[in-house]
Amino acid sequence: MSERSPKRASERIYPRVPPHLAQRLAKNAAASGMSETAVVIAALEQYLDRTSDTVLVMARLDRLGRAQERAHRDQQLHAEAFASYVRMWFAQTPPLPPDARKAALKDAEARFGQFLQYVAQQVSRGNGFFDQFPRERVADDEDLARAAATEPLGGASGSKQGE
């Protein structure tokens, strides 16, 4: 029977590094109170696991970039909706005769106050206009066409008023 030696807890490797890196490794290990082996192991784990600060920063920057793109999209949608509203308002609102302007301005101020109260309530509840839009694609054009053909007009599926 042959005697087997117990398995080693580590493997020896022999990488070659330039002298300036060997000096930096020695200084870093001495300054941190770690052995050169511990520093190399930590660096290899970070590199192989892709957990270095650079990778984490790039992932965060990517996330921030996507958030910025969504904010830009939301801003464009808001601007287009506002422009459409103003066009519609101009098309539907005839000019007033001079004697009716005072009453119209008074009524407009009262209605605007009601509007501001409504907006304040919606914001305080956390009901954002853009929160109603899906964040990812939920159907392709064929699915949407099928759904539009089968759903009666004025259906409640897209309405949030009853919540």
Distance between CA 152 and CA 155 in Å, rounded? 6
Residue 64 lies in a domain: no
Average per-residue pLDDT for the chain = 81
11 pLDDT above the threshold of 90: no
Query: What are the tens digits of pLDDT across the range 76-107?
Result: 988 999 999 999 988 898 888 988 988 998 99
Residue 25 lies in a domain: yes
Residue 120 lies in a domain: yes
Q: Report the amino acid identity of residue 103.
A: A
Residue 62 lies in a domain: no
**Torsion from C-alpha of 116, 119, 121, 122, nearest 10 degrees:** 180
pLDDT band at 139 (very low <50, low <70, confident <90, very high): low
Residue 159 lies in a domain: no
Contacts for 34 with CB less than 8 Å, ≥ 6 apart = 42
Residue 85 lies in a domain: no
pLDDT band at 160 (very low <50, low <70, confident <90, very high): very low
Count of structural domains, the chain: 2
161 pLDDT above the threshold of 80: no
Residue 42 lies in a domain: yes
pTM of the model: 0.41
Look up the domain containing 34 and give its range.
Answer: 19-51
Do residues 147 and 139 lie in contact, with contact meaning Cβ atoms separated by under 8 Å?
A: yes
Q: How far is C-alpha 93 from the geometric centre of its chain's CA atoms? A: 39
Residue 91 lies in a domain: no
